[in-house]
Amino acid sequence: MLIFVINFIWSTGFARVKAAANPWNARGLEWQVSSPPPPQNFAHIPVVLSGPYEYGVKDAPPVADLNPPVGVVSAAYASAGVEA
């Protein structure tokens, strides 16, 4: 138990290393924001362009457009019959 306590104190107090933004080049939206995330996560509603499983596929499209042009999201909701 003493080893655990010493390791915990050392890891949280002395040996803190800032992690990279996206160390695994993951494609999910949760990895596209900064850390810690801003209050609303995204400035605009992101438009998802592809699935999350194209990891490692050459020339795969980006997972999402984080700054879509004005009107794209509301047009997508309108075509789906959903009120935004």
- Tell me how far apart the alpha carbons of residues 60 and 21 are, in angstroms, rounded to a whole number: 20
**Residue 80: its pLDDT value, please?**
64
Contact 46, 64 (CB under 8 A): yes
The pLDDT averaged over each successive group of 10 residues in the chain (84 residues) is 93 80 79 81 80 74 75 71 59
**Residue 75: its pLDDT value, please?**
73
Contacts of 46 (CB under 8 A, 6+ apart): 29, 32, 64, 65, 66, 68
**Residue 81: its pLDDT value, please?**
65
- Tell me how far apart the alpha carbons of residues 33 and 10 are, in angstroms, rounded to a whole number: 29
**Residue 1: its pLDDT value, please?**
94
